[in-house]
Structure 1
Amino acid sequence: MSLTQQYVLDAHRARRHGEPAPPAPGTHDWQVLRELRDYRRFRAVVAGRPAHGRIRQALRRWLHPRRRSTC
């Protein structure tokens, strides 16, 4: 069953029971992503890691690896 079919089924059930319809799929996606970002930042701070710029640092290490001396 697809997401849209499940939504239509839930909306139909809610209407039959006189309850408010559920939110449409994708309505709160941005809010969920923001909350996930905030949670990950919080967990980073609690663990003693930097909370900002972790993705950029990882990309920088991957794109511009430091040359190691082979002496």
Structure 2
Amino acid sequence: MTAIEQYLIDTYRTAQHGGPPPPPPGRDDVAAVRAARCYEQFHAVLEGRSAHHPWRAALHRLLARGGA
């Protein structure tokens, strides 16, 4: 079952019971990615590492090794 199908079933069920509709799938994806990034940056600071964007740091490490 896809996320859309599950969403439609959940929407139907809540409509039958008079409850508020569930959030559509994917609505909070950007917020979840931001929270994960902030969490990683926070732990980087606690460990004494640079708090730059983790992808930027990974790209820098990759390029510093000569691309391999």
Shorter-normalised TM-score: what interval?
Answer: 0.7 to 0.9
Mapped to 2, the partners of 1:35 and 1:54 lie a distance apart of 13
Moved more, 50-59 or 19-28: 50-59
Secondary structure of 2:61's counterpart equals: helix
Instruction: Report the structure number with the largest CA radius of gyration.
Output: 1
For structure 2, list consecutive stretches of 5 or more residues without a partner in the other structure. none
Which residue in the other structure is 1:27 paired with?
Answer: 27
Which ranges of 4 or more aligned residues in structure 1 deviate by more than 6 Å?
none
For 1:69, the equivalent position in structure 2 comes to none
Unmatched 5+ stretches in structure 1: 67-71
Question: Which residue in the other structure is 1:60 paired with?
Answer: 60
Distance 2:53 2:10 in 1: 41
- CA-atom RMSD in angstroms: 1.8
Structure 2 CA distance for aligned equivalents of residues 23 and 17 of structure 1: 16
Bigger share in helix: 2
Number of residue pairs matched? 66
- Percent of aligned positions with the same letter in both sequences? 42
